[in-house]
Amino acid sequence: VKRYLDGSEEVLLDCQRSCIVQHGVDATNLQSSFDQGEFDLIIFNFPHHPGKGKIQKNRQLLLDFFRSAEALLPADDPLEERSRHSPLPEIRVALARGQGGTPADYPVRVWGNSWQVVEQASQAGLVLKSVEPFNYELWHELGYR
């Protein structure tokens, strides 16, 4: 909680629907804290395994997170049953520049020196929808740099 200051209210600025903000949750075992199908949007900002040079552990962290988060999204509904105004469920992960291993990363790292985020998501049955720049100004006051 210290890393995020006292700022749960600020985190909510980016929410356009009701949000649950949790800190200190095991991102690799979200089912221990939440029910299946509970979320339309799950955000994991700047995941990182402790220590330097732990690229395999960071890849595993992403894979375990994606598997855990995917289980919390609503079950597949036929698109006809989904309201036109109801958003498709999303998992968003913010990574530092170059970590992801996507063509959009800058600086571009050698594939083996990246976290291979698309590969990890794919192993969890997920597909990369988009790559967007991190909204620094929104999160700066929460301690992100």
Do the beta carbons of residue 110 and residue 52 sit within 8 Å? no
Three-state SS at 123: helix
**Is residue 104, in this structure, part of any structural domain at all?**
yes
Beta strands in the chain (DSSP E): 41-45, 90-94
Q: Is residue 131 part of a domain?
A: yes
Query: Domain tally for the chain?
Result: 1
> Which pair of structure tokens corresponds to residue 1?
């909680």
Residue 3 belongs to a domain:
no
CA–CA separation, 8 vs 1, rounded Å? Answer: 9
Considering only residues 31 and 143, tell me which one the structure prediction assigns the higher pLDDT: 31
**Residue that wins the pLDDT comparison between 117 and 86:** 117
- Segment 58-84 mean pLDDT: 81
Nearest to 105 by CA among 118, 92, 90, 89: 118
Q: Give percent of the chain above pLDDT 70.
A: 75
| 137 or 58, which is more confident | 58
Residue 135 predicted with pLDDT over 80: no
